[in-house]
Structures are given as C-alpha cells and as structure tokens.
Structure 1
Amino acid sequence: MFIEKARLKKPNFLPYIILPILFLVFVLINYVFSAGVDTNAMIQTYITQFGKTPTFVMLMFPLCVGFVFMIVYIQFLQQLGITRATTSRDKIDWKRIFFSFFLWSSFTIVTTVLAYYSEPKEFILNFSWNKFLPFALIALVLVPMQTSFEEYLFRSQIMQGLGILSKTRWVPFVVSSVLFGLMHIANPEVGEMGYFVLIYYIGTGFFLGILTLMDEGLELALGFHAANNLVGALLVTTNWSALQTESVFISKALPSASTDVLIPVFIIFPILLILFSKVYKWNNWKEKLFGKLEISLNNDNNSHF
C-alpha cells in the first residue's frame, strides 16, 4: 500500500511536515503580497523587459530548486527513499509514467488541432523555429521538474504524512487535493475568471489524488501532470495565463467556464479514471479512497532506500 509503505522506522508524522509547511508559508506570503496586484500585468512587464522564455525560466526556477531539494530531503535527510516516496511497488514503474504522459499528450494535441481547424479565427499561429526550439529544450527540462515537485509535495509528503497521522485515507485524499487547488489561487487565471476557476484546480487535485490512491503510486499522476503542463506550454498559450510561452499557437479565445472548468472536471477526468481502472484493473474503490490504515510499529530494517 502506498501510504503504509511510507512509514519510517516509527510512524512519525514530523518528517513529513517540514517541506509542506515551508512551501505553504511561501505560498501564503506570496498571496498576501500579491493581493491587489495585477499578476498578469506584472508578467507582461517581465515579458516586455526580458522576453517570454527568460520570464518562463524565472517563474519555473523556484519550483525546480524545490524539486532538487525535495529529492535530497527524501533520500538523505528523511531517509525514506525515492522509491517508497513514489510507489508501493518494488521499483518505480516507468511504463505507467510514460503511458499516462503519452495518453494525455495525445488527447491534448488532437483536441487542440481540432479546435484550431474548427475555429481558426480563435488562434494565432506563433511558430518560429528560432524561438520555439530553445524554449522547447528548456521546457523539456524544467517542466517535469516543476510538476514532479508538486506531485511529491502533495501526493507523497502531504498525503503520506497525513495518512500516518490520521490513520485514514480520506483525510490525506481530501486535504492534499484542496491544498493543491488553493496553491494556484494567485495565478493570473484566477484574476481573469474569478475564484470559480478554483473548481478546476481543486478538481484536478482530486483527480490526481484518485490516481495515486487507486494505483498505489505516483506514476500515473507524474505522467499526467508533466504532459498537461509541458504539452500545454509547447502547443498553445494565451495572453492571460500564468505561463505565456513561445508556443506553436496563441489562443485569442476568452476563458470559458464550461470549456476550461466544468468539462475537464466533470466529464474528461471521470472518463480517464474509467480508462485507467480498466487498464490497471482497479477495484475496491471505497476502501482505497476512504478506508482506514493500519500503521504498524515494526522496524523496516531490511527495506532498501
């Protein structure tokens, strides 16, 4: 079991709260200081001064540093080990990561191309090899680091720590999902669409939490999250989103409550869950999402880190 496997020599909650507390304090401070500030206007100023790709690097850099620190912390300070922080399996299942990545990448590409050909007036063709290629190479490195940091923070550290503390599955499932959504509260999309868009972010948190608990590991969530941010950054951007990049297209469409919030959360994500459940033969949903945990006190001296 994914949460149970994360126990240390004793089921101690403290090693799991250091990084989450530091990060959530950082998010809170950032939100307080950004209150009343037009985040999109600030990003536009950076883009005017430095360009899209340097601005992209500046926005991604803190989370990428967080990812490096996260790996060092898990491996050497917490001594949990990357494998046990990632999966209940004996080793990380890279096939699961790539399957999830290519599934969501394919869906995103196909739907974007269909949208372009059905409503070409809503898009600007922005492609330029001189700008796209350097950006793509940078994004291929930085985006998986950024998304992996968020997955290890919310679906590993917070989920496993709260599971050990509460001895339940539903507490870490709900809390980590809601916190994941609220982390995005300072995004320009919130300023553009209002707090209604948090339904999408929190809904995505629940979707990723279900993937993690039902599949007993982070692999599917890691692949989906990386595909969502990377392919999105490479393929299409807007003038009001958090990541404004040297993408292939620029969308002129105004944000839509149904297209951008309701359809993904209440239609697409459930379909994906059904698909994953068929591929990986998930069962016992109620127990895996809301059941109690039995955290033993035995030492795990033979475990490999």
Structure 2
Amino acid sequence: MRFFQNARVKGKNSFLDFIFTVVVTIGFYFITSLPFLIYSMVGGASGTELQSYQGPVAFALMLFIFSGILFGLLVATRRIHRRSALSVLTGAKTFRWHHLVKAGGMWLVVLTAMELVGYAVAPDMYTFQLDLWPFLALLCVAILVLPFQTSAEEVMMRGYLMQQIGLVSRYRWMPILITSILFGMLHGGNPEVVQFGMAKSMTLYIGMGLFFGIATIMDDGLETPLGIHYVNNFFAFVLVGYKGSVFSGVPTLILKESEDLTWGAVILNVAVMVIVLLVFKRYFNWPTFNYLLGRIRGSHSSEL
C-alpha cells in the first residue's frame, strides 16, 4: 500500500512546490477555457443559457476545460515535484485498468438496478425520448470528452490533494475527510443544492466524496473511483437524466421527472455506497476497514 508513500518518498514536496503546482494548474485551466469562452462569445450565449445544454460542440468544449486541471496537475507532478505522473494515480507499479473497468461495471449494475426499481414503483416518472442524431452526438461527447471532467476531479481531489494533505496528517482518515468536504464544496453551486436544500445535498456530495476517498485508500489508487465517477456521470448525462439537473436540456435516452429529495432517499443512497464498499472489499481483497484508522508511515514529517 504505497499511495501515500508515493508523495513522501519520491520527488520534492516543499510548500513552494505546492504553490507552483497550483499556479501551473490554474494556467492550464485558463488556456483550456479559451475555446469555450470564444465559442460562447461568438454565439452570443447569455449566462443563463450557458447553464443549459447548448448542443454537442458547446458541451464538449465545456467539458474540455477540465483537461487543463488534469494535464496541469500531471505535468506539475512530473516537472515540479520531480516524480512520475503515475505516482499521483496509483500506489501500484502500473495503472490497473482492470480495477477501473470492473468497478465501473459494478456501479453501472447498481445504478441500473436502482432505476429499474424506481420505474417499477412509479413508471409515470420516466419518459423515453430518443432523438437519434442529438443522442448520438451526446454519446460521442460522453465517450471522448467526459473522461476529462471526471478524471480531473479525481486526480485533483483523491490524487494530488489527498497525497499532499497526507504529508501533514497523522492518520489515513484525515485526508479522506478533508478532501470529501472539499468535494462537497466543489459542487455547492449545482442547482440541486438550491432545489433540495443545502443539508441534504451536501450530505450526498460529501458522502460520495467519502465513498470515493475510502475506495482510493483501500484500493491503493484512483482506478476504482475513476471508473465509478465516469460511469456515474455517463449514466446521468446519457442514459437517465432528470429535470432540474446541473444541465437541463441534455438529450438523454430517458428523462426522469424531478422529485423531492427526502432524508429517506439520502439514507438509502448512503446505504448503497456502504454496501458497494463491502462488496469491493471482498472482490478486490482489500484489508479490513480498520486500515483507514491507522497512521500514515512517516507522518512525523512537517513538510507539505
């Protein structure tokens, strides 16, 4: 289990290295934002319109912005911290694609099962709305460009930041908790927060952050959360979307009526994530969950 150790024993980890990495990442983010900004200005899209689906080109350019975060962090890890990009992705010797695919596949089964139950209980909530060409265009964007968005969030939160926080933390649960709260704050501007309320929405977002963070540390790398996060967003954008989501007007295959988010639904979603973690523990042969309470080796260091 070397995910935390990758940052501690390899390369450079001074506070200035961290600041330079942030600056470089912001620079990359600005560069990859330019195509979307230019396209929006030429098209005369208003701020309100940009919050809704404006076609596959605009959607692709918006998702492409996240590639700046992804590549900025990977380049800075290599050039500033002087360690391999792989070291911020996994504690294994090679990137474990089979973990990514298997975890994503299992999460797809979970999401499908939950929607099938929802359809059986309330079929009127679902509308099949296949518009072939817009749907195929959306599908292409989701396959080719959506990975930039989900991977950027994972590499930033569960990769780089978790490792950096791990440098100044005594116990493994500390970076998990801190990055989970940051993950919730990152999504604080989503329309669901206004629609369903801060408490319930943040419980779900922070809960999802804990889910991803625990999977990262138990599996010693980002492969599992990368697969789950991509499938989760792919499912929401392409297969089953709902009214009032972060992007209204997306030509998903099935549109679901928006419903009130009750505390019962929040608890159910959290319970599902706990069950999935238990399944993953057995399937991927993880250590006991007491591992999360253990000390990070070399945690006496005061470097960032």
Q: TM-score w.r.t. structure 1 length?
A: 0.82
Counterpart in the other structure of 2:254:
249
Contact 1:16/1:157 (<8 A) preserved = no
1:263 matched to 2:291: no
Counterpart in the other structure of 1:142:
145
Counterpart in the other structure of 2:187:
184
Residues 104-162 of structure 1 show CA distances to partners (whole Å, capped at 9, x for unaligned) of 11221233244234422112212111110011001112221111101110111111001
1:171 matched to 2:174: yes
Matches within 5 A, 1:36-51: 45-46=49-50, 51=54
Contact 1:12/1:164 (<8 A) preserved = no
SS of residue paired to 2:134: helix
Q: Where does the alignment leave 5 or more consecutive residues of structure 1 unmatched?
A: 27-41, 298-305
Matches within 5 A, 1:208-227: 208-227=212-231
Seen in structure 2, the aligned counterparts of structure 1 residues 47 and 171 have a Cα distance that, compared at 3 Å, is closer
SS of residue paired to 2:204: helix
Residues 178-235 of structure 1 show CA distances to partners (whole Å, capped at 9, x for unaligned) of 1111111011110111102110000111111100111111111111111111122111
Counterpart in the other structure of 1:123:
126
Counterpart in the other structure of 1:34:
none
Seen in structure 2, the aligned counterparts of structure 1 residues 73 and 11 have a Cα distance that, compared at 3 Å, is closer
Counterpart in the other structure of 1:301:
none
Counterpart among 92, 98, 101 of residue 98 in structure 1: 101
Residues 217-265 of structure 1 show CA distances to partners (whole Å, capped at 9, x for unaligned) of 1111111111111122111112211133211111113132246522111
Question: After TM superposition, which residue ranges in structure 1, 4 or more long, deviate above 6 angstroms?
Answer: none
1:229 matched to 2:233: yes
Which amino acid in structure 2 is aligned with residue 248 of structure 1?
A: L
Seen in structure 2, the aligned counterparts of structure 1 residues 47 and 146 have a Cα distance that, compared at 3 Å, is closer
Contact 2:172/2:293 (<8 A) preserved = yes
1:205 matched to 2:212: no
Shift of 1:84: 1.0
- Structure 1 Cα separation of the partners of residues 148 and 185 of structure 2: 20
Equivalenced residues, count: 278
- Bigger RCO (CA 8 Å, 6+ sep): 1
Shift of 1:17: 5.1
Contact 1:17/1:158 (<8 A) preserved = no
Matches within 5 A, 1:25-44: none
Q: Where does the alignment leave 5 or more consecutive residues of structure 2 unmatched?
A: 30-45
SS of residue paired to 1:250: strand
1:15 matched to 2:17: yes
Contact 1:122/1:251 (<8 A) preserved = yes
- Structure 2 Cα separation of the partners of residues 212 and 84 of structure 1: 13
Shift of 1:47: 6.9
1:62 matched to 2:65: yes
Contact 2:99/2:223 (<8 A) preserved = yes
SS of residue paired to 1:224: helix
Contact 1:108/1:232 (<8 A) preserved = no
- Structure 1 Cα separation of the partners of residues 221 and 48 of structure 2: 38
Contact 2:13/2:81 (<8 A) preserved = no
- Structure 2 Cα separation of the partners of residues 285 and 222 of structure 1: 20
Seen in structure 2, the aligned counterparts of structure 1 residues 223 and 14 have a Cα distance that, compared at 3 Å, is farther
SS of residue paired to 2:221: coil
- Structure 2 Cα separation of the partners of residues 273 and 13 of structure 1: 34
Q: TM-score w.r.t. structure 2 length?
A: 0.82
Matches within 5 A, 1:272-291: 272-291=276-295
- Structure 2 Cα separation of the partners of residues 43 and 237 of structure 1: 22
